[in-house]
Amino acid sequence: SQPLHETSEEGWHYGIDINLTSCFLVTRAVLPGMMERGYGRIVQMSSVTGPLVGIHGSAVYGASKAGMLGMARSLAIEAGPFNVTVNCIGPGWIETASSGEDEIIAGRYTPAGRAGTPDEIGHVAVFLSSEEASYITGQLIVVDGGNTLQEHKVAFDRGQ
């Protein structure tokens, strides 16, 4: 990550391709079959960064993730008549094997007092892929332990 004014055109394209273009290509590949069958669920992995908040040095990432939400919302209108829903998940701080210490610490500053888990994101994806989510489309489902709700961030002590 780097400030936008230091980002090369190649760096811009790389970031957009990794997140937005790959999402477009996969969605375009599966959508005709879903429309033909009259049923489908598209769940895209966006982020809170971009659609809701920004992080210094993450303009390309934020643009790509916000672009995913814009694409999902327009596609929800196009695909809705075919019983195809299109939604995005917006993870916040999620602890994975590749998480840096700063990301894990940032999770402690959420109202939940911790970073989320990949399983928590997976459960949302399973729900959005189900029949029970048939009336949810074009939405960003935020899974961030309440992080984007608070303006003043403080570490929460679970014992209080």
- List, in sequence order, every beta strand (DSSP E) within the chain: 40-45, 84-91, 140-143
How far is the CA of 48 from the CAs of 52, 124, 132, in angstroms? 5, 15, 24
Check if 39 is active-site: no
* Contact (Cβ atoms closer than 8 angstroms) between residue 35 and residue 84: yes
DSSP track, 35-66 = HHHT-EEEEEE--SBTTTB--TT-HHHHHHHH
| Catalytic residue from among 14, 39, 61, 135 | 61
Q: Strand pairing of 84-91 and 40-45?
A: parallel
Per DSSP, the three-state class of 143 is strand
Name the residues annotated as catalytic.
Answer: 61
